[in-house]
Structure 1
Amino acid sequence: MSLYDLPVETASGDITSLGAYDDKLLLVVNVASRCGLTPQYGDLQQLQEKYRDQGLQVVGFPCNQFNGQEPGTNDEIQAFCVATYGVDFPVFGKIEVNGENRHPVYQELTQTTDSQGEAGDVAWNFEKYLVAPGGTVVARVRPQESPAADEFVALVEANLPVRVS
């Protein structure tokens, strides 16, 4: 079963998959509303807006495993994301990214190594995974690196499926 076939729950409780994005450069991020890194939502939204037409799709997975920094309900999380950061990318239902109840999407993603060659557990909120069209994970970027950082933007641009001349 590929990453695109795994069931994910929408914020409204419906079951879907990431299959609609199999031709996109997927930026998968575990997110939280009460974290020092929460302003990255704004940077993620800017990336979504800038590169949407070139095939980028950001998706967020709220997680409350890091110091309880995502305590809200799915409805509260959605309202926060839209009102505070104007988020229009999908923010799915809350999941666990580490441990015994790790969501299957993250069972796959956490096998990927970061720039230091380390795989395994998600370190904190806003860890980022870039998944190329077809499902190959091309990068794992730790939480502290901003989605607005030149290096990260260059990584996104290098992997976009549609080139604009």
Structure 2
Amino acid sequence: MRIFVIDSDPSFQGATVNVTVLPYEPYWDETVEGNTTRYSGVNYNLLATLCQALNFTFRRIPTREWDEVAHLVEIRKSFMTTVIYGVLPERLQRWDFTFIFEHAGLYFAMPTPVIRPSWLSFYYPLGGYVWLAILVSTLAVCIALIQVMVNEDMEKVKNAMCTEQMQ
């Protein structure tokens, strides 16, 4: 049986909490000045506000990718992470999302197309090996059709010769 005691003054009592972050602007930015690292950004501001309200300091655990961030929180090496992370039903089974402060949509970007001469607009979308395969298959089909036509002509000649010999 577990007994839960609810403290009327929520506080971490000055503890240091491990936090994983990914340094992506404008969410998290790091500036190193000598031996001091200064943090800024939206996620840092949220974390700093939590630190002040709940009386704790944080230790940033360096990470390189999203999977590492999630793994460190799941194994409890990190207590929390302040990242923009889409709320999906699968993630709700594993994560506790405290507050959705930014609703991000799905977008994609691509470079502006370079204007090519009109005769290249047909050639450009396909690579060299694709064009080589098209050429080889076209030649193979042409050779096969010519062979069929020659065989039909030879068959007609043979039939004509057989008919003449019988008469």
TM-score interval, normalised by the smaller of the two chains? under 0.3
Q: Which protein has the larger Cα radius of gyration, Structure 1 or Structure 2?
A: 2
TM-score normalised according to structure 1 size: 0.26
* Bigger helix fraction: 2
TM-score normalised according to structure 2 size: 0.26
